[in-house]
Amino acid sequence: MNFSDKQVLIVEDQRPFLLLLRGLLQSMGASDVVTKSSAEKALSLCKKQKFDIVVCDLHLGVDRKNGFELIEELRIKRLIKPTTVFLLISADSARPVVLGSIERRPDDYLIKPFSQVQLKTRITRAWQKRQFLGEVLQEVANENINRAIDLCEDLISTPSPYKGTCEQLLVELYLRLEQFDKALDVLKPYIDGKPVLWARVALAKTYLSLKKFDKAIDIAEDTIKRNRFNAEAHDVLAKAFDAKQQGETAIAAIKEAIKLSPYSLPRHFSACSIGRNHNDFILASTSSMAIWDLSKRTVNQNSLHWCGVIRSLLDVAEYTDDKRTRNRYQQEALLALQRGMFDENIQRIDDEFDVSIFGSIVNARVNAIDGKMLDAKKNLAHSQAAIEQKYDATPVVYIPDSIKVMYDLGEFEDALQLQEIVKAQKLELDSNSEFLLRSESTKAKQNFTNYQQFNREGIQLYQQGQYEKAKESFALAQGFSPVNTGVALNLLQCLLQILSKNQKADPELFRECRRLYKLIDDMPLKIQHQDKYTSLREDLDTFMGSK
């Protein structure tokens, strides 16, 4: 390999080793060698210049981007060429660190100390492979997946030492297009053949995608027997057992995968999903915290991940029967919220995000967990009014938790309106938020159906002048949505009609009017609700005054 015409970037925060690396590469013939002491500086440079080879240390300083975070961002933002060789180096040989690095797919991972011969051999080998796959990788980068598949199939038919690499890439491309049967066709020679690790894992993933869960489990278990440190095989087990509703086994499998390789965002998202599916909300909370820690300095940074931490703590509080545990996790959520006021990462990630507005939503949920529905309604209403005042459109970061509280309170119409915003604007949610919306919608479905039915009946009966029967229907609707503003106004309007027609005062009706008055008064109301309440208020004051 000729290094003289290659542009090389070295990223290393320890100056002595940086100089050593530069000397090694120059002695190998590289004349165009640039050095940077941090991932941030490297990213800035790569926006202006494209390199053929990047040699990067894994650890680049406390609270700074590390090497595998750098490679991820360079590739996602297309700041390096598809043929660029990326070599990670580290003195840390701890298994979780090594596996976390390898999962980012560097071209190689080299443990310090190493010789010039080792460095040259690894770079040369990676370079030759990248050049052989160059056209395919370029088409993948351009999102021309079908063209990449055609080129890959051509390369497989060409005699070369990279047949296995091409087959692996081809399987990944088919899985990406959800063409699972075609992926299986490529893998058929490996079903009963020599147990090649990548092929066995790919087979397990393919069977999982085809919903052939028992086959996926068999292959994953066999893979683990041969290599117990394969985190991906444990991932497959977790997802397959989750699909088979074997929660305890699924949770054990995902915990083992995290133990082996804890630096994977997709793995922690899977843990959140599996934990919530099987009521292990502590697991979901732990992985939500890991997602925030792993993402806040990366290309995957998102203020939704921080919101997910607080939400997951409240999930533990909501779904526990133990009062001490509930209080503990509520306090942890509120402390996390308070710390968020001073967290520079949150403002750096999303300078439009208002922690105090989110705090009102969180307090509403705490109120709902404690059964203080009126307080919850007030906090939620104030948060939505603040959002409307501050923004032209509701930011996605507030939507998942707002919807959660709306369903808790029975404010179904408001929840559906926000869900329509998500659909119509195709807002990008993280998988935790998507899970929340999906699960809450499913849980609320029957209550919403019953609420709609009785509220609709009440409106029809009211229009027919059958106020007593309408009152009964509205009361039933309110049973499924105890603090819903719309049905409260309908019921109040109905009660006032009954009071106006009764010659004799009914104390029970007056008490009910007072209850509804407390529910509606001093509450930020939507325009249509405010207009209706204003029109009812004069009659209400008359009757309340006479009482």
CATH of the domain at 60: 3.40.50.2300
Residue 208: both structure tokens together: 């999982």
**Residue 486 belongs to some domain of the structure:** yes
User: Could you tell me if residue 403 is inside a domain?
Assistant: no
Share of the chain above pLDDT 90, in %: 81
Average pLDDT over residues 523-531: 84
Q: Which residue has the higher pLDDT, 517 or 452?
A: 452
**Comparison of pLDDT for 539 and 191, the residue scoring more:** 191
Cβ proximity of 364 and 405 under 8 Å: yes
Alpha-carbon distances of 547 from 283, 432, 499, 511, rounded to whole Å: 55, 52, 12, 10
pLDDT at 79 exceeding the cut of 60: yes
Looking at per-residue pLDDT, the higher value among 6 and 539 belongs to: 6
- What are the pLDDT digits (tens) for 433-460? 999 999 999 989 999 999 999 999 999 9
Q: How confident is the model at residue 101 (pLDDT cuts 50, 70, 90)?
A: confident
Query: Is residue 97 scored above 90 in pLDDT?
Result: no
Burial class (CB in 10 A: 0-12, 13-18, 19+), 424: exposed
Residue with tokens 């977790």: 238
**Whole-number pLDDT of residue 102:** 87
Does residue 521 form part of some domain? yes
Query: Residues 51, 84: contact at Cβ < 8 Å?
Result: yes
Pick from 170-179, 187-196, 271-280, 370-379: least confident: 187-196
Please state, in angstroms and rounded to a whole number, the distance separating the CA atoms of residues 67 and 42.
11
pLDDT tops 60 at residue 547: no
Average pLDDT for the chain: 93
CB 211 within 8 A of CB 184: no
Is residue 289's pLDDT more than 60? yes
Q: For residue 503, is pLDDT > 70?
A: no
Assign residue 486 the CATH number of its domain.
1.25.40
- What amino acid occupies position 242? D
Q: What is the DSSP string of 262-299?
A: ---HHHHHHHHHHHHHTT-HHHHHHHHHHHHHHHTTST
3-state secondary structure 28-63: CCCCEEEEECCHHHHHHHHCCCCCCEEEEECCCCCC
Read off the tokens for 360.
Answer: 């009102």
| pLDDT (average), residues 111-140 | 95
Is 206:236 a contact under the CB 8 Å cutoff?
no
Residue 515 has what pLDDT?
Answer: 87
Domain that includes residue 74, residue range: 7-132
CA distances for 385 relative to 347, 394, 527, angstroms = 22, 11, 12
Q: What is the pLDDT of residue 194?
A: 81
- Asked, as a colleague might, if the bond just before 113 is cis with ω within 30 of 0, I would say yes
What's the whole-number mean pLDDT along residues 333-356? 94
Among the residue ranges 122-126, 228-232, 514-518, the one predicted with the least confidence is 514-518
Number of structural domains in the chain: 2
The CA dihedral of 35, 36, 37, 42, to the nearest 10 degrees, is: -150
User: Is residue 229 a contact partner of residue 99, using CB atoms and an 8 Å limit?
Assistant: yes
Residue 320 lies in a domain: no
Strands 32-36 and 85-90: unpaired
- Cβ 54 vs Cβ 122: under 8 Å: no
- The residues that bridge with 57 in the sheet, in sequence order, are 89
pLDDT of residue 500: 85
Note whether residue 392 is domain-resident. Answer: no
Pull the structure tokens for residue 546: 């006479």
Q: Rounded to an integer, what distance in angstroms lies between the CA atom of residue 36 and that of residue 151?
A: 36
pLDDT of residue 544: 64
Using the 3D structure, point to which of 132, 161, 194 is the last residue of a domain: 132
Report if pTM > 0.85. Answer: yes
Say whether pLDDT at 546 is over 60.
no
pLDDT of residue 193: 76
Least confident of 132-146, 386-400, 433-447, 514-528: 514-528
Between 248 and 530, name the one with better pLDDT.
248
Q: Which DSSP state fits 108?
A: E
- Average pLDDT estimate for 320-347: 95
Average pLDDT on 72-100 reads: 92
Please report whether residue 139 resides in a domain: no
Residue 117 forms part of a structural domain: yes
Q: What is the pLDDT of residue 501?
A: 83
Q: Which of 112, 132, 152 is the last residue of a domain?
A: 132
Domain presence at residue 539? yes
Q: Side chain identity at 184, as an amino acid letter?
A: L
Domain boundary among 76, 105, 132: 132
Mean pLDDT of 348-352: 92
**Residue 242 to residues 106, 371, 445, 484: CA-CA distances in angstroms?**
31, 32, 23, 36
CB-based contact 202:170 (threshold 8 Å)? no
Report, as an integer, the average pLDDT of 164-178: 96
pLDDT tens digits for range 244-284: 999 999 999 999 999 999 999 999 999 999 999 999 999 99
What is the length of the chain? 547
Contact 501, 535 (CB under 8 A): no
How many angstroms separate the CA atoms of 403 and 18, rounded?
Answer: 51
First to last CA, the chain: 97
DSSP bridge pairs for 33: 8
